[in-house]
Structure 1
């Protein structure tokens, strides 16, 4: 287990620019599981996409329009959503906000 961190502190991980108005930082990961924080400016978001990973997301702050498999809901701080493998999904920040997302297995392209 020594090659993987078992504990983490967000302030020790650098943010990475991933798109205009969007940043991410990988908080912790194992090959089977990954926790990532995303920060969005108002109007920014993730375009509709799909991936083989199962994803669960929690709105840490802000308000987002979240679309999963053609259905859109507005979620605010404290809301959560889950995306099964392969479904088209995306989110748009209605105000600035942050999401905590967990993926299984880890998203190798984020490392």
Structure 2
């Protein structure tokens, strides 16, 4: 095995404040895959955007209005969604909550 980090402990901080009531921290990554946690205050926005990475998201807590392309749905803890490459997407936190997102390949723009 390489020197690649394979475990993440929740006591690690590493949050980046994004504004609009949200912040993120990269939990783990390889060149092929990245796991990122996003935390939102009630009313927090993940602005509409797109990227070449495929994204799978899990609602760890809270409720969100999620837009993926021309589809909009309300999701709660335990729900999930997938975003194909280059599809416009975003979220609005209907209550405080957290999303755990996986990206393939990794998001180099999220690294220091």
TM-score, L = length of structure 2? 0.95
- The number of residues matched between the two structures is 111
2:64 alignment counterpart: 64
2:46 alignment counterpart: 46
Gaps spanning 5+ residues in structure 1: where? none
How far does residue 2 in structure 1 lie from its aligned partner after superposition?
3.1
Structure 2: distance between partners of 1:47 and 1:34: 20
How far does residue 13 in structure 1 lie from its aligned partner after superposition?
3.4
RMSD between aligned residues: 1.0
Higher-strand-fraction structure: 1
**Superposition misfits of 4+ residues, deviation over 3 angstroms:** none
Gaps spanning 5+ residues in structure 2: where? none
The answer on 1:9 being equivalent to 2:12 is: no
Structure 2: distance between partners of 1:58 and 1:100: 5
- Cα contact 1:69–1:88 (8 A) shared by 2: yes
- Cα contact 1:13–1:26 (8 A) shared by 2: no
